[in-house]
């Protein structure tokens, strides 16, 4: 994969890598991996195909570089949310970050970039499958750690099961992606997410309600 800021071999690049990868991501996001051609990517970035090939490799490597950039952004957002002092604030921040990502684009809800573009390819491409699996497992593990911290902090009951609660949150996260793709509004997505947060509150014995976090994050 192309790393941010990595210089291409030969002549220095005359474009900003992150900007190009954002344009590439949005094109794949709109049309899907299989439905996107190198001609479309060249048009979206304003670069000639030889320049794209020279900087990133073939279409698959260009897709993986865009996916890597996207996932790096998501990791930063989730890390910031997990760093908040209370569990309810963390969960509300995650909800809002997901809604922002899933409703990205000028054509309405786009859903999760990874789920909508990489998942269809994962069944027959081991490299893409590995990225998808690693990302899904990383999200679940990060949620488990945050829930364990909430138990230690007294935000959740001592007998709360962080693994079960994490599964609820993971399932809700990807269901939100599907609903965004189906055209659900931000308000509908927020209401759907809050049902899962309320279930976590009930099953985990969350010490305080989510209203304050909802108001601050909305």
We report the CATH number of the domain holding residue 32 as 1.10.10.60
Confidence check: pLDDT of 39 > 90: yes
Q: Given the structure tokens 């099961």, which residue do they identify?
A: 161
pLDDT at 208: 57
Smallest CA-to-CA distance from 121 within 203, 209, 28 is with 28
**Residue 79 belongs to some domain of the structure:** no
Q: What is the mean pLDDT of residues 175-186?
A: 94
Confidence check: pLDDT of 49 > 70: yes
**Residue 46 belongs to some domain of the structure:** yes
- Give the DSSP letter of residue 205: T
**Residue 116 belongs to some domain of the structure:** yes
Q: What is the mean pLDDT of residues 168-179?
A: 96
**Residue 74 belongs to some domain of the structure:** no
Confidence check: pLDDT of 11 > 70: no
User: What is the number of domains present in the chain?
Assistant: 2
Q: What is the mean pLDDT of residues 120-129?
A: 96
User: What confidence tier does 16 reach under pLDDT thresholds 50, 70, 90?
Assistant: confident
Residues 159 and 112 in one domain: yes
Q: What is the mean pLDDT of residues 73-93?
A: 95
Q: What rounded mean pLDDT belongs to the chain?
A: 88
CA separation for the pair 97, 72 (Å, rounded): 14
Residues 98 and 50 in one domain: no
Q: Pick the range with the lowest mean pLDDT from 32-41, 147-156, 208-217.
A: 208-217
Residues 128 and 212 in one domain: yes
pLDDT at 156: 95
Confidence check: pLDDT of 5 > 70: no
Choosing from 69, 96, 117, the residue where a domain stops is 69
Which residues, other chains included, contact 70 with Cβ-Cβ below 8 Å and sequence gap of 6+? Answer: 25, 113, 114
Q: What is the mean pLDDT of residues 130-141?
A: 97
Q: What is the mean pLDDT of residues 9-35?
A: 83
Tell me the percentage of the chain whose pLDDT exceeds 70: 86
Confidence check: pLDDT of 185 > 50: yes
Range of the domain at 11: 1-69
Confidence check: pLDDT of 212 > 90: no
DSSP secondary structure string for all residues of 112-139: -HIIIIIHHHHTT-HHHHHHHHHHHHHH
Choosing from 43, 69, 95, the residue where a domain stops is 69
């Amino acid at each position: 994969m192309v790393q941010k800021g990595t210089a291409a071999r030969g002549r220095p690049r005359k474009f900003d890598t992150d900007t190009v990868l954002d344009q590439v991501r949005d094109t794949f996001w709109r049309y899907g991996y299989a439905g996107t051609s190198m001609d479309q990517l060249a048009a979206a970035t304003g670069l000639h195909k030889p320049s794209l090939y020279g900087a990133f490799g073939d279409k698959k490597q260009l897709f993986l570089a865009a996916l890597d950039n996207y996932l790096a952004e998501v990791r930063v957002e989730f890390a910031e949310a997990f760093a908040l002092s209370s569990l309810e604030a963390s969960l509300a921040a995650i909800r809002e970050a997901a809604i922002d990502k899933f409703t990205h684009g000028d054509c309405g809800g786009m859903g999760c970039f990874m789920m909508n573009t990489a998942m269809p390819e994962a069944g027959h491409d081991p490299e893409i499958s590995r990225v998808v699996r690693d990302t899904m497992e990383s999200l679940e593990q990060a949620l488990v750690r945050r829930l364990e911290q909430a138990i230690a902090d007294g935000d959740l009951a001592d007998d709360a099961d962080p693994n079960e609660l994490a599964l609820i949150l993971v399932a809700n996260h990807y269901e939100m992606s599907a609903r965004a793709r189906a055209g659900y509004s931000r308000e509908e997505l927020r209401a759907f997410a809050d049902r899962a947060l309320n279930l976590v509150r009930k099953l985990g014995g969350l010490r305080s309600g989510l209203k304050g976090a909802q108001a601050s994050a909305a």
